[in-house]
Structure 1
Amino acid sequence: LKKERVVSDGEATFIQHLRAYGIEFKQEYQFNENRKWRADFHITGTKILIEVEGGIWSNGRHTRGKGYIADMEKYNSAQVLGYLVFRYSTEQVKSGKAIEEIRRLIG
């Protein structure tokens, strides 16, 4: 049985913001066909990937050595493939900063 991925509080809020502005997106977007890496969000029709980083204050996976290095490899790969990668904390999503930046980017 494949384990169902839990959507974080920040991701759930970002989904609401994207839908409120009619911005089309894909969740858990596999951007590199040679690796199983996925971005939290891909803005449809663009080369924009968005990561909502949880656990940045609680010593979560993304802030410990091994996870941090794996993330660098993942994000560098996305950039080599021509993607713009934007990373936001849950707080930045909830404050509206993330959606405002993305709205400005896509015009």
Structure 2
Amino acid sequence: MSKLEATLELHIRCMKLPKPETEYKFHPSRCWRFDFAWPDRKLAVEVDGGGWSNGRHTRGAGFAEDMRKYNAALIMGWRVYRCDAKLIKSGQAVDEVGELLRD
């Protein structure tokens, strides 16, 4: 678990939100995983930490694979909330995840 994921997990606990599954494998035939998931609500959270450091998720093949993953999740009925360091550190991510869990 990355530092950003650990920070978001702490925020989720402090806000007394339902405990998520971590590294949740959502697809029956692919190895795709969500950083956090509430399977009963089909809500997932993905932490995008490498946006400013040329990380895997922002370059060529990694970006294309993420696109396939998120499209497959959408087809399967998942809502995927994506957040970065700024959203997590400001508390906005946990507030918005809380709103999604209340829907």
Q: How does the TM-score come out when normalised to structure 2?
A: 0.93
Distance 1:90 1:60 in 2: 13
Match of 1:18 among 12, 17, 22: 12
SS of the residue corresponding to residue 31 of structure 2 reads: coil
Alignment map for 1:1-107 (pairs within 5 Å): 7-22=1-16, 23-107=18-102
For the Cα contact (< 8 Å) 1:10–1:93, is it kept in 2?
yes
Shift of 1:20: 1.3
CA displacement 1:59-96 (0-9 Å, x = unmatched): 00001011000000000011111000111002211111
Runs of 4+ in 1 over 3 A off after TM superposition: none
Distance 2:33 2:97 in 1: 19
Aligned residue pairs: how many?
101
CA displacement 1:41-70 (0-9 Å, x = unmatched): 002531101000011101000010110000
Distance 2:81 2:67 in 1: 13
Q: Which has the higher helix share?
A: 2
Letter in 1 for 2:44: L
Q: Percent identity?
A: 44
Mind listing any 5+ residue stretches in structure 1 that lack a counterpart?
A: 1-6
Letter in 2 for 1:70: E
Mind listing any 5+ residue stretches in structure 2 that lack a counterpart?
A: none
SS of the residue corresponding to residue 45 of structure 1 reads: helix
Letter in 1 for 2:49: G
Q: How does the TM-score come out when normalised to structure 1?
A: 0.89
Distance 1:11 1:106 in 2: 18
